[in-house]
Structure 1
Amino acid sequence: MFRNRFKIYFIFFLLLEAVSSNASTPFVNLRQVAVAEKNLLSQEENQEKAQTLLNLSSWYHYNNKPETIERKSLYFAYKALALSKKIKYDEGIAESYFKLSVILQKAKDYQKAKICAKEAVKRYTALNMQNQLGESWVMYWSTSFLTGTSYEDRIPLLENAASAFRKSGNKEREGDCYKENGDVYLLLGNAPEAIGSLKKALVLYNSALKGRRLSDKIYGVYDLLGSCYLYMGDHKTAIQYGLKAAYLGEKLDKISLYLCTVYNRIGLAYSEFQDYKNAQKYYFKSLTLAEWHNNDQAIRELTYNYADILLKQNQTAHALSFLNSMRKRHPKLYLTPYPSLECLYVEIYIRMKQYDKAKYYAKPIKEKVKGLKDYNDIMVAYSTIVKLSLIQKNYFDADIYSLRYDSMAKKLNNKQYLANSKFLKYSIDSAQGNTASAMDNYRKYVEYSKNLYDENKTKQINQLNILYETEKRNKNIMQLKNNSVIQKNKLRNASVFNNLMIVITISLLIIVMLLYRVYRLKQRTNKILSEQQEEINTKNKKLQNLVVEKEWLLKEIHHRVKNNLHMVVGLLASQSEFLKNKEAVQAINDSQNRIQTMSLIHQKLYQSENLSMINMPSYIFELTEYLKDSFDIRKSILFVVDIDNFDLPLSHSIPIGLIFNEAITNSIKYAFPNNRTGKIIISLKAKEEHKITLIIHDNGIGLPPEFDPYNNPSLGINLMKGLSEDIKGQFNITSDNGTKITLEFIFDETTNFLELWEKH
């Protein structure tokens, strides 16, 4: 977001630093300038006159309007260059070329500016003036950027600048070069190199810390590091660096546009981490700043991000209200050639089952997508049209846009898009009753998704390994440099000592020999210790690899179990289409819900870091949403959920999920006949002494008078009773202004662990 805008800003910032050392002039006001110009006529042609010409050029460059640059500023710079060449004043020649490159770049004559910058590099190299050489390399890099040089070819230019600044001891400017190269590496997709370069910049800035200006640079480095780790899929580290950047940015300037970018990236990291509440919080902060700056591009992108995060939290009405309010405040948002906001409207009205309104917003999408160049926007637009067409049973449009989606996916060779394309075809075939084709496309979708998941994880692991090796190599290089300095000091001391030995007695020679012997013994000892440490490190690394491999295998097992259960659900759904017996269809639907209950467990396990525990609030909430969608009762039945935040193992979470599924399903099906409205209260509480209580209470018609919970042929009742016994719980079902199901059981992590151990 805003990347090009910030890129130009940072180039200007580097150039501002580059010319600041040459910007100072002895002139305070225009009167002094006029006197200096008058005296030029009588002044001798020497180095002093050349310097006066350069000072006049700087004055007009920094203290006058742009049109003056092409006249007096250039005039005096060229005069200084001609005079310096005439009197063979090498420093004047070098400074004149540098000054001309700055002026010509500001005048947008980039080719001539590049030629002058290259000459300045050549002259300052011959003069061995390292700081000025570094600034000249920066100018050469800048003009190369503006004349279209590739990212790869620009990296060595800043490396040369960094080398010159390092030799001159200018750590701040060296850090600037590493920071910019880190940004370039990130644009090239080389996150490990970007991180290495940015961390070098961070070390240099910290060692050259001089207050607010460097704090500003450090906070930019933190933001870029967050972007690098986000690119690599390390969301936790990305969030940590993003929050560091936000903390520094708020201290420096709470309303800067760049802070708007920082907040947006933090929101994106939280969204990828599936922490939607915090993502919403930072998107809102970013949107507030974008509106304060009246930046249309930022407002449009953040409007999309904020509405999208609301939809991810199933806050459909809130998302619609937000989009409508933004439309009133910023009408220009919908006059752009991008259909992203219209796509959101279509998604919202589909969820609200207001298909005529969804169709209204689909019309401009079809028009705008014709002129789009951004393939991401194109693919979102195509998939939105297909989704709406399927709901309206407009299979002609669905086929056309799914074919376009598939064609673009093949052209881009993007596996995520190829997987989505198969899912779209599966949806179309399912809607038209083409069962064989639907199952084939669904199988391909699962296969693409699995391969994509495996590829992404492999890529992330490889990049993390590269980063680890890079940091290890850098540490080794630093250690070698330190050892080299120590060795040089020792050699210097040895040389002095040898000179002293000439005039000292033989006894000092014996002392030197003893010292040398101790030195050799120390070297052998260090070598032995180093070998032992290397052996320990190797064993630790093997153990770490075994642990990681075990975790990956467990995640893969849960992933495959979840996929297999989804396949079973799909097969049951296909089978139900051929059944005419309502009881058989109902039995299949009930089986689908039960399988989905278990599938959700395995999905959560492979998506979480803890492979043995399930977070109950998240699980119950998602299961509730699934049952709402399955029975299409979002408006008729109100769900009141009150769940304590705790985790349960697989041995307890599956029985509780199945009991929950049976209880909610029975309430939905039997508690509210004739489409009555009602309420279902769901409570899961962890009380004292490890007691956990699950209550599902509806305000429906209640149980029939002849109902006997202990002698009932119902499969659902018997299933709930049997599952309760599995976890040693007390199950009870009563009529209390409706039907009330209560399950109480004891869960003690230590006791349960011992029981599992004894079973094994």
Structure 2
Amino acid sequence: MIPDLLAGQEIKTKTAFNEAAAKLAILKAGPEKVDVLVNLGTYYLNLPGEVKTDLNTALRYQAQGFALANQIRYSQGIAKALILQADITRESGDKPGSEKIYNQAIGYAGKHHLVNELARAYAAKGQLYGNEGIDLDQKIKYNKQALKLYRQAGNRLEEGNSLNNLGDYYNIKGQAAYAITLMDSSLLAYKAVDFKELQGVYNNLCIANNSLGNLAQALKYGLLAEKTAEQLGDTTLQRSSINNHLGLTYFYLRNDPKALEYWTEAEKIAEKYKDPNYILTIVANITTALVRMKRFEEGTSILIKTIKKFPPQDVQMKLRIPYILFNAYYDIRAYAKAEPYYQQLLKFHHDLPKDDPNQIYLYRSIIKKMVHEKQYSAVMVYLREHEKQSLEQKNILALSQLYRLWYHVDSAQNKPWEAIAHYKSFKRLSDSIANSEKTKQMAGLEIEYQTEKKNKDIALLSQKNQLQQVRIESDERTRSLFIGGLVVVMLFAGLIYNRYRLKKKSNLILEQKQKEINEQNELLRKILGEKEWLLREIHHRVKNNLQIVISLLNTQSAYLDNDDALIAIRNSQNRMHAMSLIHQKLYQSDNLAEIDMDWYIKELVDYMVECFSTDRKIQFELHTESIRLDVAQAVPLGLILNEAISNTIKYAFPDGMKGKVLISLLMKDENDCELRIADNGVGLPAGFDADSSDSLGMSLMTGLTLQLNGEIDMWNEDGLILNIRFKKHSELSPETVNQINN
């Protein structure tokens, strides 16, 4: 039995995808089918990488869902499909196109009061913007709108997602304390709906607490993120982020080996998912640890090698690379090599806004260089700006490092009291970061986490031991069964060999018969080819003979003075040309049995217009479908068309009158064809009776209609309308064959 899929439920695994695809095959047209189609499209959109075929498949599911939602007037489905289309367009790199579709989705959801879909559209539109400057402000703005709407709808799960995202964005903006407040609210919303996948919000809390220097809290949430991810079997790129920030926490705690351990694992995951930004971020972190461990050459070489392979794309990474290399070269007193990187940092300092969170790194580098060059007066401005920004961000770690630098500046300027004050501030903050209570708390966290891991390992080993014992017992039973089975196999071997000989003999007989069949088939193919050639040649000869007769009649007309005889010859020529066209098309076509009447009518009309020179006087309008008729029906229909068009040209528009003729040949039902020739001419004379008419053309059309087993009607309506209905031959019936032969 296939499990039910909740509307809007995200498909994250291949198993869930297979279940959804199986359910799709049995679902009837309705809202649930639309939701499943949208979910399948979202699955392909979220697959790792930006593979074009995945995006095309996602778009195919989206189009099916959108079409069905429109068909059944399912407004929520229409909004969901529009948002998915915008997401796919954004992923393909078309930002203007995706923004247009997001606005369409926002307008539609707002008009139909779809609060959840409107919130989803705002949040998704925020993804169009980056994580820097004005872009980040726009992203925050749209996510705030989404949060407000999710709260209005009472959607606690999406409220938790929005709060978590906003926390992440405010942390990037440099407001880590506010970010933590948002993430705490996010946890409350998640727990209210018993949401288990909390590793993302724990990871964000680890990042924010690291920014503030709350290393005990950072370690707590980092370990919680790792533990939750392991329990849920999370193998996504998020594991790389968790390991990366746990490594950063251990780096701040000056436990470089532990930091390297986590970063190495984070790099493996990032390489598996081929994410260049993550790879570059983690390698930059590894470099800082290696440089601090005095493995300078190793650290700088892997960073420079990675930069060449994955050039930095965002401002933060473009700034961070020269920051790491400048400080690395300065630490080993290679000042000349450090200078180009310092100039890059100085340019960033002038280009970035004063309140940009990245200015802290720039201030630190500028202060370091100025202190080395003894520019004590000039450095005071940067010390104060660094202090101001660190206090605004409540970044204890940055403040601690700043006051240590300030202490050295005061000491160099012979300001003992200021030096003591700044040293006290440095000690107070550094002790706050690494006080004994926090150290115990962190040690306890690590012990608790490691103990839990060891207990799991012990349970796993016990399970493996039991499995090993079962395997040994199974091997013994297998050995006994094998000996008994060997005897049985030997008995069967003789029987199988005997069967093999019989089968081989049968195969030889079958091969001989197959050879005979192949020879017969080849002979039949040759006969068929010859018959097709002969039939094509017959059509060619018939066409040529008709053309010869037309030419003979044309020659004969040169010796006649009687107008009635000339008209009769001209009419006969037109009728023969109508039949000639059919045979010409048949011998030129691959299909020797049927003719395309759409092509035929166009060719016949062009010929008649040319013959009567009516191209300026009478306009012909054709509405014909590509209907294929066999010769038995094509010939009489062609002659009917010839007679009807001739009569229209001759009699419908007297005295140079201009007019219009509409010719249509359409399928009305499965096999019902309707030929209609309508003009806006003078129409039939009053009292005209088709049945008692002695007109040859009218008699021909009536007789040919009977040959088609059809019905003919004509009436005046703003001119004359001639209507013929008949059934198309679905196959060559015996009657049809007789008609062709005759």
Per the normalisation by structure 2, the TM-score is 0.43
Rg bigger for which structure?
Answer: 2
